[in-house]
Chains A and B, each alone.
Chain A
């Protein structure tokens, strides 16, 4: 097979990018769980996280790359900055593009269109305010090979991404499974009307769901910016891929989104080794169409309510 020669190297890279997809996919899946809607503007939440983290880190980093403990702190600050920017965007998005429609009980098409409008608005506004050129992340640390596993290089960037993603994924899983808010999210996902009769404040749950999705997506935006650049159009491709990951794992299913993200990251990297990196983005779309054809409910099945 074409990917066996570099199998472990591809696996490491695939898991790193896959954990990013997983983080973004959670935003789609959570919102889908409570609203049964694809949040088309989630890719812009991701983009906002990229810019938020970038500008914060740019303030913190001086002319030379800091080392040691400072680098760890700045990276954490960047992740938090990205997460907050993402959460803020997601909150505003819910208030402006979704809630007015929900109050009126608008049909489904209206939500999709208003989300697309929000997406157009946000990324073009970002292009206007922050320039349309790609912006590199300042050097917080020098990314190099940290150790080898089965002969594959593992870089600092990949460790940071995978580590941060792992912490957030576990935190989210516990949140959904154990806390009162998580219970509320699952209840709304199962049956919004009954949940409201049982005393769940649906609006609050929906807002918080958007915020949680925004925190994860925004953090992912910063982490993505560490490896690639930050640009106003950066959200589109990872957004569609993360959506694919969510569908692959079973949309509405939290663990499914994580699984889907990792699987997508791996398949994409193996696929690139087989075809050409020019077709990297096509692979994800092909998987999406295939999944929808063969098993539209995804690997682990749909519905947030039943998953945790």
Chain B
């Protein structure tokens, strides 16, 4: 590892002669104990504004803290023993778990028959299993998981494939949802013609596409981290406009904080088929399933096309890509717009399924939530992203009643940091992405479209 400059001489192996406070083992033990205290605080009781220390005393001056500290100490000792036993060339202790998964993946890549049978099995499971669920879980599957899987798939194009960070992603979701409310006549301003939510889909996709291009056009020419903050600002602008839109130069456009109510369910009246979606979740689930499978196939094709290769080239080395004739701004804009329109599409479905939207559905938090899903599952990996979205939306429902719902963002925040420290490639990483991250850490090439690695000469 040719880790440039920083921290040189900082990482001596275990057992070297150093003052004890610089010894790796002690340092790790200290970090673990600190983490133990933080976890005790996170899971402990809450305080309030009149008793701001209650949470701290209730977590740290209570016997339960010993449990966390003990666990941390035990992990520290185990890790030290593990290092000692294997010497300096330590293997990943999770190797026995990871090895079979990698083996299955390799077999799947080399054997198309196996691959398609696995896909078929997953599909059959995805079709049959939800029928056995209770209505509550069917609703969770659609409102929480399905919609967010769509969102995460779209953001994956932006973050995972093009390596751009979009923090205002939920704004496009909002645009899609409000477009639906407008064209179904549920906003105070009357539309020129009312449509069925299905017919709004192309309009919403077009609207978000235009919004994406308008926003991305100026900013994608700049250094990548500006995009993050501009999209963050854009997300807030859209929300503030929605909140204050009940007095937009004197006219009520968005109904303000109250939002739009009674958005109709979609229905099909074509080719002799007449079908109405109703309050039931299962029909929506199958609709979403078809869409997700369709998008998975489309995005997979896209990834392995000329466009996908251009994205990879931009991500790995933008200057080299531009020098080889890849129009970088055009392709970045394309990724941004595809992501945006997927989000807008999800917005239409969400609005027509739930029937009620308000600015509170489009908080900055939800943008960050989608980012977390993509990172957690594995940037650039389609199965990873689906899994990431599903797990992160399923967990809070399982933990209902055990963890206060507002607290879950504490865990998501911690998860993001931990993922970046220990597993930046995500749960089910894309192979190319893992390799890029590894090479980039060794100082070869890049892994995102944001410019040189910090701390190196640039």
Residues in A lying within 8 Å of B, measured CB to CB:
35-38, 40, 51, 55, 96-97, 100-114, 116-122, 124-125, 127-133, 135, 191-194, 196, 202-203, 236-237, 240, 243-244, 247, 276, 278-279, 281-282, 284-286, 288-289, 292-293, 296
Separation in Å of the A57 CB from the closest CB of chain B? 13
Q: Are A120 and B406 in contact (CB under 8 A)?
A: no
Q: Are A279 and B240 in contact (CB under 8 A)?
A: yes
Beyond A104-B3, A109-B448, A113-B371, is A131–B421 a contact (Cβ under 8 Å)? no
B458: interface (CB < 8 Å): yes
A37 to B48, CA, bound (A): 34
Residues of B in contact (CB 8 Å), total 77
A217 to B320, CA, bound (A): 39
Cβ contacts A to B, 24 pairs, < 8 Å: A55-B52, A103-B10, A105-B4, A105-B443, A105-B455, A107-B448, A107-B453, A108-B451, A108-B453, A109-B163, A109-B165, A109-B224, A110-B424, A117-B372, A120-B410, A120-B416, A128-B42, A128-B410, A131-B52, A192-B5, A193-B456, A237-B236, A282-B240, A289-B218
The secondary-structure label for the interface of chain A is: helix
B106: interface (CB < 8 Å): no
Q: A296: which of B42, B50, B222, B365 is its contact (CB, 8 Å)? A: B222
A122 to B437, CA, bound (A): 27
Q: Are B455 and A128 in contact (CB under 8 A)?
A: no
Q: Are B167 and A116 in contact (CB under 8 A)?
A: yes
**Given contact pairs A107-B446, A117-B415, a sample of 4 additional A-B residue pairs in the complex whose CB atoms are under 8 Å apart:** A103-B3, A121-B414, A194-B457, A292-B230
Q: Are A36 and B406 in contact (CB under 8 A)?
A: no
A288 to B232, CA, bound (A): 11
Q: Are A37 and B454 in contact (CB under 8 A)?
A: yes
Q: Are B417 and A108 in contact (CB under 8 A)?
A: no
Q: Are B6 and A107 in contact (CB under 8 A)?
A: no
Q: Are A285 and B421 in contact (CB under 8 A)?
A: no
The secondary-structure label for the interface of chain B is: helix
A274 to B186, CA, bound (A): 31
Complex interface: chain A residues within 8 A of B167 (CB): 116
Separation in Å of the B372 CB from the closest CB of chain A? 8
A107 to B46, CA, bound (A): 36
Q: Are B421 and A107 in contact (CB under 8 A)?
A: no
Q: Are A130 and B52 in contact (CB under 8 A)?
A: yes
A133 to chain B: closest residue by CB: B49
A102 to B11, CA, bound (A): 13
Produce 1/0 per residue, B425-458, CB < 8 A to A: 0000000000001001111001110111111111
Q: Are B421 and A101 in contact (CB under 8 A)?
A: yes
Q: Are B225 and A37 in contact (CB under 8 A)?
A: yes
A114 to B47, CA, bound (A): 26
Q: Which of A117, A122, A285, A286 is the most central at the interface, judged by chain B CB atoms within 10 Å of its CB?
A: A117
Produce 1/0 per residue, B90-108, CB < 8 A to A: 0000000000000000000
